[in-house]
Amino acid sequence: MTNPCKEAITQEDREIVKNLDDYKVIIDLAHEPSIKIYAKKPVSLSQIVLLLKDFGITAKKEIFYSLNDVQISQIFIDTNITALQQAKEKVATIIEQALRGETLERCALYRFVLEKNISLEQVIFLRSLVKYLVQLLPEKKEQSIIKIFLNYPHLINYFIKYFFKQDFMEREKIEEKIHSSFKTVQNYEEDKLLRICYYAICSIKKTNFFAGKECKSYKFDLTKFKKLLPSLQPNIEIFVYHKDFLGVHLRISPVSRGGIRWSDREDFRQEIRDLMITQEAKNAIIIPSGGKGGLYIEKPITKKEFRHYYELYIDAMLDLIDKEPKERGDFYFVVAADKGTADMSDVANAIAIKRGYWLKDAFASGGSHGYNHKKLGVTAHGAWICAARHFIDRKIDIFKDPITVVGTGSMRGDVFGNGMLINPQIKLIGAISSHEIFIDPNPDPAIAFKERKRLFEEQKSWSDYNQTLISKGGGVFLRTQKEIKLSPQIKKVLNIKEDILSAEELAKYLLCAQVDMLYIGGIGTYVKSSEEFNIYIADKYNEPVRVDASALQAFAVCEGGNLGLTQKARIEYAKNGGRINLDSIDNSAGVNTSDYEVNLKIVLNKALKEQKIDENQKHSILKELTQEVLEKVFQENFMQPLAITLDALRSRNDKEDFIKAIELLERELEFFNKKDFDIPKIKEFDTVIDADGAIVRPVLGIVLSFSKIFLKRFILQSNLTQEPFFEHYLYKYFPKSLYPLFEKEVLTHPLAREIIATVAANIIIDNAGIRFIADFDELGSEKFLIKIKSYLLLYALLWIAKAKKELYKKESANKTSIYMQLLEIEDAVEFSVKWIVRNYQEFNSEPFHILNYKNEIAQFLDFKESIHSDFFRYIDLIKFVMPAIYIKELKEYPLNEVLSLLSEILSLFNIDALLQIIYNFSPKDNIGKELKMQLMELVEYFVVATAKDVVFYTRSKESLHDGLMNYIQEKMIDTSFFAQKIQELAQTPQDLMKISNVVHKLLLEAI
């Protein structure tokens, strides 16, 4: 650097200094090319030199001097003078803004300003594009992408022009030039990246780029180019660019939901994408599909700064969403709390309300006027309901009876804290939090409960636990402790031989303790399979304490938190006899509650708009509905584990249907992939079969969830939701006390169709199980629709929900198994559904017409106070209720007489026993399975055909009973012969030929 000299000061310098606010940049190309920088604050010349280098400008020498406290730096340069002549105003402006901190101090993309005379706005577009590509293609580094851009300036310039031109005709011309320019790209990898970049630009459906905001957002339709991307990808994506942070929001469909998290990962989109896929399974029971959002801030910031960035992020996303519902619009956009954003719901809702977004305070669930999950303890309570199913066979009620527990989490946390306060009788042996290990070898339940409650209420950690209340030998230890001297009590309860262990080793012993329940209530993956390597598991923090599933000794695992075990670990644990579902089943109560909140607020906001209620009344009504909402949420937590249990029992004898269902889901659902959920190929399917011959629960759980998703989407693609009968399921979704007051608002709910489809899918899969979808290919779409309608119709017609409700109460009161009875009900419904599907064209199966017979059927079956006992008394007749209606309408006999006739035929020919023999037959191959089905159909045909013949045979003055007796006498049918043959079959080993012989004799001799 030369010494300052008075001769360097010019009159121009004096004029500029006189009017200078902060910075001024002058580019002089008339004499020796130079750039002069005027600054009221000190400027780092090395910083300026590097900035100029980004433009493609080389600094040769510098002169530094000052005037009236203004620093003047003159830098003599070497560059393409012609290019700089054209772009000098833009270059100067960018340098000034960089000095002020208004734009980036360094950016290699500034080269395009000089080379292609682009503006700072266009540089920002390119930079946001590069940042997006880095997230989209994690294997690519930012510098390598920029290098490729710089190698093809003409092509990149066309990309810029394409984005900035809104006229369709002009864009078409630019497209031609782009396609032509691609021919100059010789390298395959470079060509691939540039094409993905181009397709991404082409797929931008909406942007706020031209709104003049500092935070830029783009909405991409990834369906147009996702085939070029690795692994599963969302269909709709919002990318948010700001010079200080980045954000994404990923959605599987326009109607999706999921939390927004503050990520600490550079590849944060990868994390968000994986969570979106996980969310899809969890969202199976609710209206929206899976979605997830997140933002990443590279530099350390304060909570106040984070709130500012969060506000910018939310505001930028709402720029791309329709303010009001409209046909085929993108109007359903909701967010929820997640890691780092637990207290941001009110902030998000305030932005939505200010902007006039139609969802208002339904935009972000769980705010000050929403359902607070922690206060309600909803996630933990739902998880315990799910886990309770594991203990029923042991006649243990985990809500009341003493059980031993080891857990992950602290009493400050929502899921762990609430979970440890559900049952005052639990004996918490120990827990592992993010920093501490708590061990109480022989706790006094009452004392320990009271102390846990204090910690929860005061939001304290394990180190604040009153040490005098811990049983002898116990204590609280830091996870960082190198050595812990073990007490005899700890050694005994954890079966440890060593006297001294590190905290990490002690934590492993604790996880593997022989207890009733391992309760996952905190964040982290604590269990992997023995075949997995830690390097492939995302949670690195808990790697030192992670154990293999084969080492777990807990009777059952309850996953109140997410990702406590890998899916492979769950399968291994289940194969070894452990009782477990999976996290998306156990902790679904939270997302279900949030979804109810959103849909209730939509109804109440409509009522508010129409001035039926005011704001205070709206908040009061939502609060009053809390208990009803929780009952509905917890009912689903009860139903799903029960459905898994019943499917496990079914799978012992019928794996083929489950395999068919899995293959159907993999073919039809983009986000269901056997490999992603560790479901083996058909040849290796035995690897997910437990010691009882059943498919393990973690596999059944994930297939159950995606079966609901498949069924929901199939219903939505049909016209079923528009049929009057299905309107009932819209009302069924909402609390009973709501819809009478707001019927109009419920009926005009923008997601009415989605709600109907979700409720219907939940009812069917929760009760009929996964096998319901197995015959989809065999039936075809039209008949499968009939199957769906028939199932739901029979459910309503035969009071099945009420009969099952009585059984659930019986199970709870007597702690007796009801599984066989539930399966028997579903077998009867399945039998009847199959008959309807085969014969629906021969009679009027319109639901409301059939439901006219509901009370008449109930009277005949003598349904009084205890439906379920009468139900099983008539279980075989129930299989033939629909044929009874069909026969009744052929010739106008009272329905009760036709039912009596069918009942008598069933009894005379011992049909119930014959059907049971056929049902119990276990075929060894597909031919045997097909023959079994044919025999069932033949028996059904015999009963219906005989009843039909008798109805037409009976004279006008005869009763149907007399008609049947005369019919048998005239045809010389020996009913005792069949009764004897069926009795013989029941007493001999299964023999398909003998069964076939009896069935064919029924048909030949009787018909």
pLDDT at residue 1005, rounded to an integer: 65
Structure token digits, residue 608:
């508010």
> Which of 594, 632, 525 shows the shortest CA–CA distance to 337?
594
Put residue 902 in one of left, alpha, beta given phi > 0 → left and psi -120 to 50 → alpha.
alpha
Q: Which helix (H) or strand (E) holds 78?
A: strand 70-78
pLDDT of residue 1: 42
User: CA nearest 886: which of 938, 838, 829, 825?
Assistant: 838
Count the alpha carbons within 13 Å of 150 in the hemisphere toward its beta carbon: 17
d(CA 653, CA 643): 16
Other Cβ atoms less than 10 A from the Cβ of 302: the count is: 8
Burial of 999 (0-12, 13-18, 19+ CB in 10 A): buried
Q: What CA–CA distance (Å, rounded) separates 93 from 70? A: 19
CA dihedral 78, 79, 84, 88 (to 10 degrees): -40
Q: Is 402-580 the same fold as 208-363?
A: yes
Q: Which CATH architecture has domain 402-580?
A: 3-Layer(aba) Sandwich (3.40)
Q: Delimit the domains of the chain by residue range.
A: 11-112, 118-205, 208-363, 402-580
Tell me 487's DSSP state: P
Structure tokens at 977: 């012969």
294: β partners: 248, 261
Catalytic positions: 292
Q: What pLDDT score does 1006 carry?
A: 59
Q: List the one residue out of 578, 586, 824, 770 whose CA is nearest residue 692.
A: 578
Report CA 57 to chain centroid distance, whole Å: 52
Cβ–Cβ < 8 Å for 74, 34: yes
Longest CA–CA span in the chain (Å) reads 134
Closest CA to 888 of 134, 448, 896, 296: 896
CA 774 from chain centre, in angstroms, equals: 22
Predicted local confidence at residue 5, as pLDDT:
53
Q: Does domain 11-112 have CATH number 3.30.1120?
A: no
**Threshold 0.85, pTM exceeds:** yes
- Check if the beta carbon of residue 195 is closer than 8 Å to that of residue 136: no
- 3-state DSSP helix/strand/coil percent for the chain, to nearest 5? 60, 10, 30
Q: Give residue 2's pLDDT.
A: 44
Query: Please, which residues have CB within 8 angstroms of residue 751's CB and are 6 or more apart in sequence?
Result: 255, 287, 332, 599, 602
SS3 category, 16:
helix
Q: Report yes or no: 861 and 828 within 8 Å, Cβ to Cβ.
A: no
The radius of gyration of the chain's CA atoms, rounded to the nearest angstrom, is 35
Q: Which residue has the tokens 């350390």?
A: 300
Cα-based distances in Å from 929 to 24, 926, 998 = 86, 5, 18
- What pLDDT is stored for residue 982 in this prediction? 84
Residue spans of the chain under pLDDT 70? 1-7, 863-870, 1005-1007
Owner of token pair 């500029």? 16
Q: How far apart are CA 618 and CA 607, in angstroms?
A: 9
488-524: burial string, b at 16+ Cβ within 10 Å, e else: ebbbebbeeeeeebbbbbbbbbbbbbebbbbbbbbbb
Residue that has been written with the tokens 């989407």 in this structure: 713
Q: Is 76 exposed, middle or buried (0-12, 13-18, 19+ CB in 10 A)?
A: middle
C-beta contacts of 869-874 below 8 A and 24+ residues apart: 871/798, 871/799, 871/803, 871/825, 872/821, 872/824, 874/903
CA 926 to mean position of chain CA atoms: 35
* Residue bearing tokens 């969310």: 279
| Distance, CA of 305 to CA of 642 (rounded, Å) | 47
How are beta strands 236-241 and 245-251 bridged, if at all?
Answer: antiparallel
In whole angstroms, what is the distance from residue 765 CA to residue 408 CA? 32
- Please state, in angstroms and rounded to a whole number, the distance separating the CA atoms of residues 296 and 932: 59
Instruction: In whole angstroms, give the CA distance from residue 969 to residue 471.
Output: 82
CATH architecture of 208-363: 3-Layer(aba) Sandwich (3.40)
